[in-house]
Structure 1
Amino acid sequence: MSQKPGWLRPHGRPWTRGAERLVYENPWIRVSHHEPTAPTGRPAQYGLVSFKNLAIAVVPLHDDGTVTLVGQHRFPLGDYSWELPEGGSPHGEDPLEGARRELAEETGLQAREWRRVLQMQLSNSVTDERAIGYLALGLSPSDGGYASDETEEIVLARVPFREALDAALAGHMEDVLTVAMLLRVYHMAREGALPDALTRAMLG
């Protein structure tokens, strides 16, 4: 990883945490009310959604330059979403193990090579959720096969990488992890960070 540029250093005073009250909790999230002091010195109120899992996203990139996508209905916005294989990895678990599990469960695939390519804060104004993205190469059917969660009705599509990227940039795939990860892998290809044959298959 490259050295952090000097202009990325913090400026000013941080938030000072004050009183905290639990509002709601379930196995996946914790919602709390806070009364902190802002960096300006002014008192504030803050509602914080804390996640009990690390978000995981995987780009399953096949040798022929295609990528496997997952389609499913999503509850919060009440729409249908095409996206990369994604899921949660409990805090304390090796995120790579979570990525392997999610890829197998949602697509029935396993990978010979894994690259950790991106880490993200998904909505840092109201949540503490963090995400890690992986590129999965050398794909083959997993030993355990496909086994989605009991609440998921998943459809798979294997499409050319460039077609998936164009769909994301056109707004047809709005999931932020999907958009960010497709752009990241595209950048890797353009910068020569992927095998030449794979880059030609992706971008040709």
Structure 2
Amino acid sequence: MENPWTTKSIKVVYDNPWISVSHREVITPNQTEGIYGKVHFKNKAIGIIPVDQHGNTWLVGQYRYIIDTYSWEIPMGGGLIDHDLLEAAKRELQEETGLKAMKWTQLLRIHTSNSVTDEEGYVFLAEMLEEGETSFDPTEKLEIRKLPLKEALAMVMQGEITDAISIAGLLKVAKLLNI
């Protein structure tokens, strides 16, 4: 479909190593003048759902500064836009859980909030796991929890997991694995 929007101007109003924020003057699809703010992410969001031969998975707990609350999530991090997403997923899984996987499947590509940001998230299923040592980022204080995948899904359904990428990935895995 052809883009019905016209961009008149773009002004970057904030920029750091992870995001930039721009103010845009636009003409809307119904030909009225308007504005839009866009948050541009400089990395891809990468989530991983490790599942062992017994149907267990691993969640990562941490206090999220921006939402001012503790959050249980699938292991995740960022991957540079022009780099291999699978390599980023392998790195993040090892860093946050100590796990290495022999089998990888890309589950989904998701836009996290397509009304204000261009952030893309990718979720991978990691299987045939080998346990090892974590190597947390210096800014991270993480808690790792191994639990049956069914319990992680129950956490989604009870509202205990609120991260959008985690929810989408866990629901997709449940459907794929007939849980």
Q: What do the CA deviations read for 1:7-61 (whole angstroms, capped 9, x no partner)? A: xxx4x75222220111000000000100011111111111110000001010011
Name the residue aligned to 2:36. 46
Structure 2 unaligned residues grouped into runs of 5+: none
Name the residue aligned to 2:155. 167
Q: What do the CA deviations read for 1:123-179 (whole angstroms, capped 9, x no partner)? A: 00000000111000001024xx31111111011000111111011111011011111
What's the TM-score, normalizing by structure 1? Answer: 0.85
Identity %: 41
Matched, 1:31 2:21: yes
Q: What do the CA deviations read for 1:87-115 (whole angstroms, capped 9, x no partner)? A: 10011001001100110111111100000
Matched, 1:151 2:142: no
Matched, 1:135 2:125: yes
- SS of match in other structure, 2:34: coil
CA distance in 1, matches of 2:121, 2:5: 23
Matched, 1:18 2:8: yes
- SS of match in other structure, 1:105: helix
Name the residue aligned to 1:80. 70
CA distance in 2, matches of 1:128, 1:59: 23
Q: As a proportion of its length, which structure holds more strand?
A: 2
CA distance in 1, matches of 2:25, 2:14: 17
Q: What do the CA deviations read for 1:51-94 (whole angstroms, capped 9, x no partner)? A: 00001010011111010110100011110001100110011001
CA distance in 2, matches of 1:26, 1:93: 20
Given residue 32 of structure 2, which amino acid in structure 1 is its aligned partner?
R
Name the residue aligned to 1:199. none
CA distance in 1, matches of 2:110, 2:31: 28
CA distance in 2, matches of 1:97, 1:16: 37
- SS of match in other structure, 1:148: coil
CA distance in 1, matches of 2:14, 2:171: 36
- SS of match in other structure, 2:153: helix
CA distance in 1, matches of 2:126, 2:71: 21
Given residue 133 of structure 1, which amino acid in structure 2 is its aligned partner?
V
Name the residue aligned to 1:176. 164
Name the residue aligned to 1:61. 51
What's the TM-score, normalizing by structure 2? Answer: 0.97
Name the residue aligned to 2:106. 116
RMSD over aligned Cα, in angstroms? 1.1
